A and B are shown apart, each in its own frame.
Chain A
Amino acid sequence: MRRLLVLLCLLAAGRAWALDPAAVGRLAFGDGDERIAAIGALLASGEPRVTEVLQAFAAGELQTAGERVLIVRGEEGFDAASGQRVAPLPPEREDVVANNRLRSAAQAALASLKLLAPERAARLEAARALSGSVDPATAPLLRKALEVEGDGEIRALLAMAVASLDLASDDRATRLAAIRMLGESSNAAVQPLLAAAVKDPDAEIRSAAKLSLIEVEGRLKWGEILGLLFAGVSLGSILMLAALGLAITYGLMGVINMAHGELIMIGAYTAYVVQNAFRSMGLFEWYLLAAVPASFAVAALVGMLLERSVIRWLYGRPLETLLATWGISLVLIQGVRTLFGAQNVPVENPAWVSGGIAVMSNLTLPWNRIAIIVFAAAVLAAIGLLLARTRLGLFVRGVTQNREMASCVGVPTARVDTLAFGLGAGLAGLAGCALSQIGNVGPDLGQGYIVDSFLVVVFGGVGQLGGTVYAALMLGFANKFLEAWSGAVIAKIVVLVFIVFFIQSRPQGLFALKGRAA
């Protein structure tokens, strides 16, 4: 309520008091630097009408008629300084031309003017945009905004911005206060400011700056560590999704499916097709609900078809299976290129999985990543239940352990093979659907995952799903932590080489099945 009153007062004040005509004049008639200064002066006045004038300036609606500066929209004209309507328009008018430098100065000024906007969301956004380094020209506006701001969160942001300005103040006490204030910040941008203050000649300022810097760094450290952990879980869940299907086709059935990556790709393209269909029906927001089962179904169908037509004839000849399925992958890639073109296709996030939640100032968790982690966990639970509790799962486990015996007691092993392969392929499709939410969808999508997913399965130990889960998470963490230390490519190489040598010293993987079943 208080806010509203203040705001009304301000608006009323703006109406009553016109802008400084001299500043408006300089904006229209001055040379480059004068006009920049004029923008600063207008901004410092904090009058609401500044917005209108600057907007008109940036939009090229400012015109001059003799000494007067007008805002001209179509056939209507207003005096820029007073806001009074000017009718009739003077016939002799000239455009006020703004160059890029001026236009961007005006844009920046307009952005900071949002700090006085009536909507809380707009003010919050403007306040967030103020990073540690604040343009001194906006100082008066900032102080004014801080004065009238009622919202706690925005106030804190503004106070930080003001403090970072005060750091350059001549008054020692002001600077000390600013340094202490910045110590409570958890914004990475204040680090260089404080680091500069640490070199100050004044000993007291130096020690205060040091303390504040340590505090800020400690707070940021947490954000970084949590961010790394999250990235690790996220990558781990992606790897797990990509590898789960393989854990069934390779791990349980012993089929080397080099086309696994392409089944992932097919899942992603299915998501794309469903997206387009739903968009044309106007239900874009909900397409994922249909895309998930559709991806599973399409990939599973393709998988079963492949099993019946090609892979069936190659059981027991793993190297031949490897080559034949590689051939399948080439055909699938080219097929998708023929159908959808060689370019990547756009798959967009619905609103409910875009954006993220800001947990800390330097840690924002994107919703799509969170969704994939949840999704991966759900898929894992479902597949675990399927294998452990259903009749099909029982058959699959039976055939895996002892094909002849299973066949003897009446398990239709051929059909179980087809269904199990379809299940693995369908899981690849689900992975594709998930990947479509975070990366590019193109014909080569699967190629990037095939090496990784095989390594995850082999690393975890062939023959059971548990190892795959642990291996995926471990590799996800290892990759992300190494990445923070050495860069993405080196991290990936180190992880690959590590697995290669790990497998050489322990070919059965992390978790070997005991006894003869492996």
Chain B
Amino acid sequence: MTRLYGARGWAALGVLAAILFVVFPALSLGVPAGSPFHLSQYWVTLIGKIMCYAVVAIAMDLVWGYSGILSLGHGLFFALGGYALGMYLMRQIGRQGQYQSELPDFMVFLDWKELPWHWWNTDQFWWAALLAVLVPGLLAFAFGYFAFRSRVKGVYFSIITQALTFAAMLLFFRNNTGFGGNNGFTDFKRILGYGITEPETRMALFAATGAVLIGTLLVARWIVTSRFGRVLEAIRDAETRVAFCGYNTLHYKLFVFTLSAVICGIAGALYVPQVGIINPGEMSPANSIEIAIWVAVGGRGTLVGAIAGAGLVNFAKSLFTVWFPEYWLYFLGLLFILVTLFLPRGIVGLARGTRTGAA
């Protein structure tokens, strides 16, 4: 097993951690609002959101960049994690909703008298957090088991994961499913008893996201530098040959796919309290494909590239939607086309020059 990172890598991580855990909190909470150095709530939320996306991108890079499985269901796992924590946040509203009922507003609106079964225990944070990990994990495990066992791969796998996401979106759009239908969950008030709009709470969520991001990066890096990771790459490049060598490729793919889904669930759970809304739109097939383009822009099979890609694309999205919203789709579309045609190894690949890497 190789080392995780060289000295420069650790130094860069240290700088990143210092920025996330010291500089940003200080600029946001320590500097008064009028100062030019003050980090406003807008930026805290935006960067926090982008960090969530970066976590998803790492998860995607694990399955796509390293294992060659292009999943178009990662938006679903992300949203499931978000919905799981969203249930807890809805319960935390308590009687402060529009209808002053113990039940979430949309249930009062539907004239429901009690919580449906799948809301059981969701007033407990630990249970919601567990759901955010378990639900995407179990779904990915079950789905992956059947898919990989019958050797569904390549584009086929992409198409059926997309169909699964689409079906889930339709399901969540129904009012009777018990997840707020079209509007999803919003108007959160508190998390763990703290006001969700308080700058301190926001900063805590921000720091937690930063910690998860760095942790995910380290775990992913540990996996891909291990013997296990070598097998994954071998599966990507020549699955049949790996199987003939005596490896059970099903186990490897299933593990990495499930882990990836769990990471997405965690990212979704962090995303919802920061953004303040979750609705079935997050499950639209378009979102899942966008995750792939983040990774492609950054560079597949590099992990750092996934973070860079997610950051760049989403930062560009924020700029475009503020300045010239009607050109965003042109930009995104051209990005898809140009990156696949001219930049198969992404910007990280470009920066690393001619080093042969992921194909």
* Cβ contact within 8 Å between B167 and A505: no
* Cβ contact within 8 Å between B155 and A256: yes
Select which of B152, B171, B334 is within 8 A of A493 by beta carbon: B171
**Given the complex of chains A and B, what is the CA–CA distance between A484 and B216 in angstroms?**
47
B132-177 with Cβ < 8 A to chain A: 146-147, 149-152, 154-156, 158-160, 162-164, 166-167, 170-171, 173-174
**Given the complex of chains A and B, what is the CA–CA distance between A335 and B333 in angstroms?**
11
Q: Which residues of A contact B326 (CB under 8 A)?
A: 334, 337-338
* Cβ contact within 8 Å between A505 and B146: yes
* Cβ contact within 8 Å between B70 and A327: no
Q: Which residues of A contact B332 (CB under 8 A)?
A: 327, 330
Please tell me the number of chain A residues within 8 Å of chain B, measured between CB atoms: 44
B166-194 with Cβ < 8 A to chain A: 166-167, 170-171, 173-174
Q: Is B285 an interface residue (CB 8 A)?
A: yes
Select which of B149, B158, B174, B335 is within 8 A of A322 by beta carbon: B158
Select which of A320, A321, A501, A507 is within 8 A of B156 by beta carbon: A507
**Given the complex of chains A and B, what is the CA–CA distance between A493 and B171 in angstroms?**
7
Q: Is A357 an interface residue (CB 8 A)?
A: no
* Cβ contact within 8 Å between A323 and B340: yes
**Given the complex of chains A and B, what is the CA–CA distance between A337 and B335 in angstroms?**
19
Select which of B152, B296, B329, B339 is within 8 A of A507 by beta carbon: B152
* Cβ contact within 8 Å between B150 and A319: no
**Given the complex of chains A and B, what is the CA–CA distance between A267 and B167 in angstroms?**
27
A335-381 with Cβ < 8 A to chain B: 335, 337-338
* Cβ contact within 8 Å between A314 and B296: no
Majority SS of interface residues in chain A? helix
* Cβ contact within 8 Å between A500 and B334: no
Q: Which residues of B contact A451 (CB under 8 A)?
A: 162-163, 166, 285
Q: Which residues of B contact A319 (CB under 8 A)?
A: 70, 154-155, 158
0/1 interface trace, chain A 314-329, chain B, CB 8 Å (1 if under): 1000111111101111
**Given the complex of chains A and B, what is the CA–CA distance between A328 and B336 in angstroms?**
8
B301-359 with Cβ < 8 A to chain A: 326-327, 329-330, 332-337, 339-341, 344
Count of A-B residue pairs with CB < 8 Å: 120
Interface footprint category on B: 35 or more
Select which of A318, A323, A329, A496 is within 8 A of B293 by beta carbon: A323
Q: Is A489 an interface residue (CB 8 A)?
A: yes
Shortest A417–chain B CB gap in Å is 17
* Cβ contact within 8 Å between B160 and A322: no
* Cβ contact within 8 Å between B334 and A327: yes
Select which of A320, A333, A335, A496 is within 8 A of B340 by beta carbon: A320
Q: Which residues of A contact B154 (CB under 8 A)?
A: 318-319
A395-414 with Cβ < 8 A to chain B: none
Which of B70, B171, B333 counts the most A-chain CB atoms under 10 A from its CB?
Answer: B333
Q: Is B278 an interface residue (CB 8 A)?
A: no
* Cβ contact within 8 Å between A503 and B156: yes
**Given the complex of chains A and B, what is the CA–CA distance between A455 and B166 in angstroms?**
12
Select which of B146, B159, B167, B337 is within 8 A of A458 by beta carbon: B159
Q: Is B93 an interface residue (CB 8 A)?
A: no
Select which of B158, B163, B173, B286 is within 8 A of A500 by beta carbon: B163
Select which of A258, A458, A507 is within 8 A of B151 by beta carbon: A507
* Cβ contact within 8 Å between A496 and B146: no
B254-297 with Cβ < 8 A to chain A: 285-286, 289, 292-293, 296
Q: Which residues of A contact B336 (CB under 8 A)?
A: 323-324, 326-328, 330
Select which of B152, B160, B289 is within 8 A of A326 by beta carbon: B289
Shortest B142–chain A CB gap in Å is 10
Q: Is A56 an interface residue (CB 8 A)?
A: no
- New contact pairs (6) apart from A326-B289, A447-B286, A489-B173, CB-CB < 8 Å: A310-B341, A327-B293, A328-B336, A329-B333, A451-B163, A493-B171
Q: List 15 A–B pairs whose Cβ atoms lie within 8 Å, in order of A's numbering.
A: A313-B341, A318-B155, A323-B296, A324-B337, A328-B336, A328-B337, A331-B330, A334-B330, A489-B174, A492-B170, A493-B170, A496-B164, A496-B170, A499-B160, A507-B151
**What 7 pairs between A and B have smallest CB-CB spacing?**
A327-B336, A330-B333, A331-B333, A334-B329, A496-B167, A327-B337, A324-B340
